[in-house]
A and B are shown apart, each in its own frame.
Chain A
Amino acid sequence: MEPVTASLEVSGLAFAYPDGHQALFGVDFSIARGERVALLGPNGAGKTTLVLHLNGILTGGTGTVTVAGLPVGKQHMAEIRRRVGIVFQDPDDQLFMPTVREDVAFGPAAAGLKGAELEERVDRALALVGMREFKDRPPHHLSFGQRRRVAVATVLAMEPEILVLDEPSSNLDPASRRELADILRSLDVTVLMVTHDLPYALELCPRSLVLSEGVIAADGRTADLLGDEELMRAHRLELPFGFDPRSVRMGA
């Protein structure tokens, strides 16, 4: 891979919540443009806290986050938030508008898009996730898998530099899970996928980071990391019963 400007660069990031609980203890990593990377870690490792730093929702700790060369900070907040698209774990949190169309339009409209251009952007984003015919439905009338896809569309509509997904496979039935994987593979953006669904990480992301106790404990090829039993055990990462990462042959 050529050393172009990284999509995302995190260095020395440390953070504690107002109640005194420290979640991050100095996190460093970098993701190149177009990469698909999984961020693995047990519950409470600080994954969500890290995600909230990527677009400047949480600030006030030490260290820096840079998105495509732009430091995350007060001056460029609007631009940063357009560039970093976060898909949250619960689609009900993400879909807060009364209809699918308005929800997908929310981000681009907040960025100043109007009229036909806005409509076109909404249609394109919904088409990418195969949800175009649900445009005028209220979100709570959709199935969980459909809501997750619309949630992805709401972020894609902003044409982000990097797509950050928080537990994208949680609560999905196997068919929805595969559909989402197909969608993610078809997209031409940098992806950071936060998950403890290890087979899903292996299926989608060539590279993985292990976040444990607030620091990056490992960084390497997903297959290698998942194959390292000692590493996995040390960080409370467990493969599903009968799943052997060495036996999986990666396709595309």
Chain B
Amino acid sequence: MHVPDGFIDAPTSAVTGVVAAGAIAVSLRGARRELDERTAPLAGLVAAFIFAVQMLNFPVAAGTSGHLLGGALAAILVGPFTGVLCVSVVLLMQGILFADGGLTALGVNITDMAIVTTVVAYALFRGLVKLLPRTRRSVTVASFVAALVSVPAAALAFTLLYWIGGTTDVAIGKVATAMVGVHVLIGIGEAAITALTVGAVIAVRPDLVYGARGLTQKLKLRVGGELVDAPDEEPAPAAARSHRALWITGLVTSLVLAGFVSFYASADPDGLEKVAADKGIDKKTEEHASADSPLADYGVEDVTDARLSGGLAGVIGVGVTVVAGSAVFWAVRRRRSEDTSPAHTDTAV
């Protein structure tokens, strides 16, 4: 969904630009926490990996194929901050080097594809990992769900931006239904590949999966037949450990809220069928066109069934709420850490 120039009006583009710059500034600092001084080469290589993986076409059904967006994958493998950073850099380079995505729409693109996907995916992933038993299978399951929700969440975020700053007056309900409908299907592909990829990495190098960092054991060294304790390493930053209760509450709240959202959504049943019937255009074409994303070639038939919209809205509701919740959570955490370290300078981008 690389948005070109002129699709979203100038004020909205400017605001999203500021949002994106702020998020990148936060991520730069966060990534340094995740990767310390290895940030530049590791994030660079992961960005190159995301860039390459986006070219990996996976077949969906006869003749059609899609490819990965990678936000969820990046967040789970290398952590949310580094994930945001990597996907943003990929988008920036695509905009500048390949004219893919408008320069003034960079803010929109980064907000939508780097920030929303990554944050939604990671928040959901952490929540699930906390709730599920501590096994590798749980990590895979959590990756699946996280990636599945992240794609329609991005579609919804895009719709929201379009609603605020779209340059054409299109009924927002239609756009939302079409976008979300298509992207749920795309999300399934994204989810399967993401989960399988995370599973493949866990099988070989579990230590590399940021989202699955577990317990480490005290090292013993054998020198001349005697066991000697290895000197202690610096303790890993003990972030997000005692937050289990918070996560559970957050997730439950999200689900409850999601219920409301879906109730609201189903009370307003303007599906695509109606449009298609009224205007006499083939609904499949419409779906396809609004699926401007690279993954659009999935077999997209009968998605926009009105019965689905409630459920979809529910899924999206969870995503959006988790984003909002995480934002608050971060804000609180940041304020707390700012309180403890007054010598704190914030250099924006």
Residues in A lying within 8 Å of B, measured CB to CB: 12, 14-16, 18-20, 22, 25-26, 60-62, 96
Is the pair A16, B221 in contact by a Cβ cutoff of 8 Å?
A: yes
Minimum CB–CB distance from A96 to chain B (whole Å) comes to 7
Count how many pairs of residues, one from A and one from B, have CB atoms less than 8 Å apart in the complex: 34
B135 proximal to A (CB < 8 A): no
CB-nearest residue of chain B to A14:
B223
Q: Please determine whether B217 and A25 come into contact, CB atoms closer than 8 angstroms.
A: no
Smallest beta-carbon distance B203→chain A, Å: 15
Interface string of B215-255 (1 = CB under 8 A from A): 01101111110001011010000000000000000000000
- A12–B41 Cα gap in the complex (Å)? 33
Q: Is B207 an interface residue (CB 8 A)?
A: yes
**B207-A14 in contact (CB<8A):** no
Compute how far the CA of A22 lies from the CA of B230 in the bound complex, rounded to whole angstroms. 11
Interface positions, chain B 182-235, Cβ under 8 Å from A, are 207, 216-217, 219-224, 228, 230-231, 233
- CA of A96 to CA of B222 in the docked complex: distance in angstroms? 37
Whether the Cβ atoms of B223 and A26 lie closer than 8 Å is yes
Tell me, in angstroms, the Cα distance from A19 to B230 when the chains sit together: 12
Q: Supply 23 A–B pairs (Cβ within 8 Å), ascending by A.
A: A12-B223, A14-B221, A14-B222, A14-B228, A16-B219, A16-B220, A16-B221, A16-B230, A18-B207, A18-B216, A18-B219, A18-B233, A19-B207, A20-B219, A22-B221, A22-B222, A25-B222, A25-B224, A26-B223, A26-B224, A60-B233, A61-B230, A62-B223
State the CA gap A188–B41 with chains docked (Å).
Answer: 32
- In the complex, the answer to whether A62 meets B219 with C-beta atoms within 8 Å is no
- Which residues of chain A are within 8 angstroms of B228 by Cβ–Cβ distance? 14, 62
**Majority SS at the chain A contact face:** strand
Given contacts A26-B224, A60-B233, A62-B228, 18 further A-B contacts (CB under 8 A): A14-B222, A14-B223, A14-B228, A16-B219, A16-B221, A16-B230, A18-B207, A18-B219, A20-B220, A22-B221, A22-B222, A25-B222, A25-B223, A25-B224, A60-B231, A61-B221, A61-B230, A96-B41
Interface positions of B (Cβ within 8 A of A): 41, 207, 216-217, 219-224, 228, 230-231, 233
- Nearest Cβ on chain A to B104's Cβ, whole angstroms: 28
> Within 8 Å CB of B219, what residues of A?
16, 18, 20
Cβ–Cβ < 8 Å partners of A25 in chain B: 222-224
What's the minimum C-beta distance from B297 to chain A, rounded to whole angstroms? Answer: 32
Once the chains are docked, how many angstroms separate the CA of A14 from the CA of B230?
A: 10
Task: State A61–B233 Cα separation when bound (angstroms).
Answer: 11
Please give, as numbers and ranges, the residues of chain A lying within 8 Å of B216 by CB-CB distance: 18
Q: How far, in Å, is B315 (CB) from chain A's closest CB?
A: 38
Chain B residue contacts of A96, Cβ below 8 A: 41
Among residues of A, the one whose C-beta sits closest to the C-beta of B216 is A18
Instruction: Please give, as numbers and ranges, the residues of chain B lying within 8 Å of A19 by CB-CB distance.
Output: 207
Which chain B positions have C-beta within 8 A of A18?
Answer: 207, 216, 219, 233
Verify A15–B221 contact, CB threshold 8 A. Answer: yes
- Among B217, B224, B228, B230, find the residue whose CB has the most chain A CB atoms closer than 10 A: B230
Cα A18 to Cα B216 with chains together (Å):
8
Q: How far is the CB of B49 from chain A (nearest CB, A)?
A: 15
Q: Which 3 pairs between the two chains have the least Cβ-Cβ distance? A: A14-B223, A16-B221, A26-B223
Q: CA A96 – CA B42 in complex, angstroms?
A: 12
B130 to chain A, nearest CB (A): 24
Give Cα A149–Cα B219 distance, bound, in whole angstroms: 39
Instruction: Determine whether the beta carbon of A20 is less than 8 Å from that of B230.
Output: no
CA distance A14 to B219 in the complex (A): 12
Taking the closest CB of chain A, its distance from the CB of B206, in whole angstroms, is 10
A61 to B228, CA, bound (A): 10
- Closest residue of chain A to B41, judged by CB? A96
Q: Considering the complex, give the chain B residue whose CB is closest to the CB of A96.
A: B41
Give CA–CA (A14, B233) in the complex, Å. 16
State in angstroms the CA–CA spacing of A19 and B231 once bound together: 15
Residues in B neighbouring A20, C-beta threshold 8 A: 217, 219-220
Q: Which residues of chain A come closer than 8 Å to B217, judged between CB atoms?
A: 20
A229 to B278, CA, bound (A): 89
A25–B216 alpha-carbon span in the complex (Å): 22
Specify which chain A residues have a CB less than 8 angstroms from the CB of B230 in the assembled complex.
16, 60-61
Contact partners of A22 in chain B: CB under 8 A: 221-222
Closest to A59 in B: B231
- Chain B residues closer than 8 Å to A62, beta-carbon distance: 221, 223, 228
Which residues of B sit under 8 angstroms from A15, Cβ to Cβ? 221
Taking the closest CB of chain A, its distance from the CB of B153, in whole angstroms, is: 35
Which chain A residues lie closer than 8 Å to B220 at the CB level? 16, 20
Residues of the A chain whose Cβ atoms lie less than 8 Å from the Cβ of B221: 14-16, 22, 61-62
The minimal Cβ–Cβ distance linking B107 to chain A, given in whole angstroms, is 27
Inter-chain CA distance A22–B219, complex, in Å, is 9
Q: How far is the CB of A124 from chain B (nearest CB, A)?
A: 27
A96 to B219, CA, bound (A): 33
B232 CB to nearest chain A CB (Å): 9
- A196 and B231 CA atoms in complex are apart in Å by 32
| Closest beta carbon of chain A to B24's beta carbon, Å | 22
Identity of the chain B residue whose Cβ is nearest the Cβ of A93 in the assembled complex: B41
- For A21, the closest partner residue in chain B by CB is B219
Complex Cα gap A215–B221 (Å): 14
- Please name the residue on chain A nearest to B228 by beta carbon: A62
Query: Taking the nearest CB of chain A, how far is it from the CB of B37, in angstroms?
Result: 12
